[in-house]
Amino acid sequence: MKRVNAVIVGAGAAGGIVAKELATAGLSVVLLERGKWYTANDCRKDDLRNQRTTVLGNAFGPEDEGNPRVSVDATGVAQIVLPSEGSYSNDAACVGGGTLSYGAMAWRYLPQDFRMRSIYGAPAGSSLEDWPISYDDLEPYYEKAEYEIGVSGDYSGTPFHGPRKRPLPMPPLPPNREFEILEPAAKRLGLHPFHIPMARNSVPYNGRGPCMRCRWCVGFACEVDAKNGSQNTVIPTALATGNCELRTECMVREILTDDRGRARGVAYFDANGHLQEQPSDFVVVSACAIESARLLLNSKSRLFPNGVGNRYDQVGRNLQGHHYTGATGYFDFDTYDDVGPGASIAVADYNHGTPGLCGGGMLANEFIRLPIQMVDQMPVNTPRWGLAHKKAMRSVYKRNIALMGPTQEIPTADARVTLDPTVKDKWGMPVARISGNVHPHTFEIGAIQAKRCEAWLNEAGAISTSLKIYKPLIVTAGQHQAGTCRMGEDPRASVVNRNCQVHDVDNVFVIDGSVHVTNGGFNPALTIMAIAYFASESLVRNWKGTGFRS
């Protein structure tokens, strides 16, 4: 196979951006994606088979068959889990990755989110740490992501955001009914509500039309292509340069290394299951936190007996996602207006600054819930079945609001991805084994966040509420998975440097949520994108045609 400059593993939020940046800079790129390329026409509005409600499987991969993981809970019980099960911590496997079917909240982390250890100190037993880069380092790249991917919203209602040079490129969508109910209540509580930034066209942008405001959004592909992901922005741009080839249904087995300890390409199984080798000058791993770690760990050789980048046993550690808690409020008037995408209003007042708590997270109203998503959201003391449940569905469905938020997790080194010693996937490769949990202080913060949601709902006129407080037995990395190839200056305590370059192999890069030191109190997609732009720029700058300037 013809040698190229770069092989990129994974065509998701980060991989798509890296492909576009390298290809437009004139480098030759092969972009490998294990899933398929879906379009707006593949939206089926199937409420039982999508990326949000997966009782009949994931619409955009991976398939339940042949893609197991092993999940080990706090009591040491290990079990094989399927992609449609929660403890699998799935992210979609397709061109666009999670960005094809995400809710598309497009948050910047706050300046404090990059300095968690300096601000709070590390709780005993945690691996809380500062990032080696700051909000200011990322600011231009956040802006680039907002403009190239396309973000609508309005930050003017809140002082709780980092400095920004330009406003968002698109105004927010008009408020829905929940916004109108929740906004005055938040203000009465002294909070600062504002329009959620969304990677969703509110007006025509980038040659595509605006959101038509149907109620099938998070978990689904957008049938009018108004939701912005890498699959309908940067990847088409990368392909249009003529320098990038996208190969779908290709599963990478390992990063190949030479006798001098440098990467020489990848081995992958193509769509027909045949093993192929793609030689390259360097390799970019953008497979999402769990699969990126797994690929590095599976890339074993004489010089790398424990996998690439894993000399100090750091790959796979500090796995984290977000600890979601919240409350549902029940009202004696209709709160439901059948207008998507549903989530519309947020506050960032509780991300930092509460004495005794290491951070917090934003709070927002939930995306619109389809009937099947409501069956377990009934008021407290409603029977789980029978006529009373049916009647509650009828009386409550249009009269409730759910608020929740992603509590920033306090990471630990023990929450980690390793290779399972026995279970293999359909290609015969050892699967990811997920074990450990985030620091328990996370759950204390989450419980307080839920009560804050409840107070907001009560102020808005709820006649009753139910709290959603959890204490999971295993790290719930989910679609927000991050942290497994931590960015840092110290090779003994991190996997990549500030430019996302693996410490001990200078032509392997990990560019995705894996490098997040901490994961903010926000959905991570825009930060993953900003880092992809940031890392791509230094990659192009340092590339000298045959090697990297050191």
In the complex with another protein, the residue whose CB is nearer, 377 or 484, is: 377
**Residue whose CB is less far from another protein, 42 or 130:** 42
Give how far the C-alpha of residue 319 lies from the chain's centroid of Cα atoms, to the nearest Å.
Answer: 12
Of residues 211 and 364, the one with the C-beta less far from another protein: 211
State which amino acid sits at residue 47. D
Site for another protein in 318-357 (CB under 8 A): 338
Which residues, in sequence order, are bridge partners of residue 347?
Answer: 363
Joined together, the tokens standing for residue 371 give 């009937």
Q: Single out the residue of 327, 319, 328, 326 nearest to residue 360, CA to CA.
A: 326
> Which tokens belong to 68?
């197991």
Whole-angstrom distance, CA of residue 241 vs CA of residue 334: 51
Helices (H) and strands (E) in the chain, counts: 10, 18
Question: Which residue lies nearer to another protein by CB, 36 or 300?
Answer: 36
**Contact range with another protein by CB under 8 A, out of 230-238, 302-310, 390-398, 451-459:** 390-398
Which member of 24, 25, 42, 117 binds another protein (CB under 8 A)? 42
Continuous segment of H or E residues that includes residue 403: strand 400-407
Please say whether the beta carbons of 275 and 253 come within 8 A: yes
Q: How far is the CB of 338 from another protein (least distance, A)?
A: 6
Check residue 150 and report its DSSP letter. Answer: I
Q: Does 390 bind another protein (CB under 8 A)?
A: yes
Question: Of the candidates 1, 56, 77, 240, which one interacts with another protein according to CB under 8 A?
Answer: 56
CA atoms within 13 A on the CB side of 486: 32
80 contacts another protein (rule: CB under 8 A): no
Write down the least CB distance from residue 219 to another protein, Å.
13
User: Contacting another protein (CB under 8 A), which of 37, 147, 397, 548?
Assistant: 397
Is residue 384 within the footprint of another protein (CB under 8 A)? Answer: yes
Site size with another protein, rule: CB under 8 A: 43
State in angstroms the smallest separation of the CB of 377 from another protein. 12
Distance in angstroms (rounded) separating the CA atoms of residues 484 and 76:
21
Residue 160 in tokens: 């709780």
Regarding 367 and contact with another protein (CB under 8 A), the answer is no
| Choice from 55, 74, 271, 275 touching another protein (CB under 8 A) | 55
CB 168 to another protein: min, Å: 24
- The alpha carbon of 118 is separated from its chain's Cα centroid by a whole number of angstroms, namely 25
What SS3 class is residue 387?
helix
Pick from 24, 36, 37, 203: which binds another protein (CB under 8 A)? 36
**Residue 163 makes contact with another protein by CB under 8 A:** no
Q: Kindly give, in sequence order, each residue whose CB lies less than 8 Å from that of residue 259, ignoring residues fewer than 6 positions away.
A: 303
Binding mask 185-224 for another protein (x = CB under 8 A): ---------------------------xxxxx------xx
DSSP string, 187-253: HHTT---EEEEESB-SS-BTTB------S--TTS--TTS-B--GGGTHHHHHHHTTSEEEE-S-EEE
Cβ proximity to another protein: between 59 and 529 the closer is 59
* Residue 45 touching another protein (CB under 8 A): yes
37 near another protein (CB under 8 A): no
Residues that bind another protein (CB under 8 A): 36, 38, 40-49, 55-61, 64, 212-216, 223-224, 338, 371-372, 374-375, 384-387, 389-391, 393-394, 397-398
